Structure 1
Amino acid sequence: MENSLTYTKNGDYLIPDLTISEQTESIGKYGRMRKNYLKEHRPVLYSSLLLSEKLYPHLLEIERTATARLERMMPELMKSAGVTESLKASDPMRWVGLMNNLKAQAEETILTELIYS
């Protein structure tokens, strides 16, 4: 097995030259929240994912899953709360308030289940 790892001498120690490959796709809001959670509350898991280069794929998966779940939950919540296009036309301020409440409710579920677990 060929050893492709290089080292830099620092005093009496050889320090491995570790690099992390560039990520082309950026992570969104939920991915950044997950990263901050891992960094602050699960440092061993964060370091393990980072060093194995599995952190950014993990964060992208969290981002995609959270976004998809939010898109699935909102229409269901809107239907159960009676938020309709006619309400939007007749009372836009009430519609905005209800939509904000529903989004906050959906995001609370997503944060609990995906981000902070």
Structure 2
Amino acid sequence: MKELSYIRVGDYYIPNLKLAEQPDRSIGKYGRMRRRYLKEYRPALYNSLLLSEKLYPHLLETDEAANARMDILMPQLMKAAGVTEELKAADQMKWVGLANNCRAQAEEIVLSEIIFN
């Protein structure tokens, strides 16, 4: 364990704490959802990850996994629902409705498998 250093402020000594360098990438939508879930429903795990400086890498990994899963699910669901380029050319409103339905289904799967697990 590292030796702590202290700063004197008036009559008090305050620990000089610094976080390790974190990656310079931003957390996406699913990473933020995971953070909110951990903070509200799994506070012990959230605090453990936060204090061990593993929260940010965990959220990045979760975001990448969720986006990869969405990229796999969307074409499969669109094919199963019959969402094709021919339908897009023939009836755009129907295509948009079916595509939005597929996205909602894929997000529900990702949320239950990755975010809320």
Cα distance in 2, alignment partners of residues 112 and 13 from structure 1? 48
Match of 2:48 in 1: 48
Q: Amino acid of the residue matched to residue 31 of structure 2?
A: G
Q: How does 1:28-43 map to 2 (within 5 A)?
A: 28-43=28-43
SS of 1:26 mapped into structure 2? coil
Match of 1:7 in 2: 6
Match of 1:101 in 2: 101
Cα distance in 1, alignment partners of residues 38 and 16 from structure 2? 24
Give the stretch that moved more between structures: 38-47 or 20-29.
20-29
| Seq. identity, % | 64
Q: Amino acid of the residue matched to residue 33 of structure 1?
A: M
Give deviations 1:24-78, integer Å, cap 9, x for gaps: 1100000000000001111111111011111011000000000000000011101
Cα distance in 2, alignment partners of residues 107 and 28 from structure 1? 14
Q: Return the TM-score normalized by structure 1.
A: 0.88
Match of 2:115 in 1: 115
Match of 2:18 in 1: 19
SS of 2:58 mapped into structure 1? helix
Cα distance in 2, alignment partners of residues 72 and 80 from structure 1? 13
Gapped regions of structure 1 (runs ≥ 5): none
Cα distance in 2, alignment partners of residues 15 and 44 from structure 1? 26
Cα distance in 2, alignment partners of residues 104 and 6 from structure 1? 51
Alpha-carbon spacing, 1:46–1:9, altered in 2? closer, same or farther (3 Å): farther
Report the Cα offset of residue 22 of structure 1: 4.7
Match of 1:86 in 2: 86
Report the Cα offset of residue 5 of structure 1: 2.1
Report the Cα offset of residue 11 of structure 1: 9.4
